[in-house]
Amino acid sequence: KQEVTQIPAALSVPEGENLVLNCSFTDSAIYNLQWFRQDPGKGLTSLLLIQSSQREQTSGRLNASLDKSSGRSTLYIAASQPGDSATYLCAADGYNKLIFGAGTRLAVHP
């Protein structure tokens, strides 16, 4: 049974810092690994999707890496801004079945 863990559970940083959010999964037989952002009381916004054959994906200030063999993914946020404050969720896709981690609650203060 796939289990997804995210560390840290919460993070508070000053504006401008570079951040690393961690995600680990127990079953390496995944189709892809996806990172989402969720604002309070809102739905999910897809940030990056890494297919199992890929090592990383980049979008603007975000970079996500995937190491299937070790069951790990990281989301790197460069030059954080207050607008980045949200909960970040990773999800492992076991062939059309997404298993989510509990998320990292990020607060970026001015």
Partner 1 sequence: GAVVSQHPSWVICKSGTSVKIECRSLDFQATTMFWYRQFPKQSLMLMATSNEGSKATYEQGVEKDKFLINHASLTLSTLTVTSAHPEDSSFYICSAGSSSYNEQFFGPGTRLTVL
List interacting residues with partner 1 (CB under 8 A): 31-32, 34, 36, 41-44, 46, 49, 51, 89, 91, 93, 96-103
The SS3 assignment for 84 reads helix
E strand intervals along 1-110: 4-7, 10-14, 19-25, 32-38, 44-51, 56-59, 62-67, 72-77, 86-93, 98-100, 104-109
Q: How far is the CB of 109 from partner 1 (least distance, A)?
A: 20
Q: With respect to partner 1, which residue has the nearer C-beta, 17 or 39?
A: 39
Q: How far is the CB of 78 from partner 1 (least distance, A)?
A: 24
Q: How far is the CB of 3 from partner 1 (least distance, A)?
A: 11
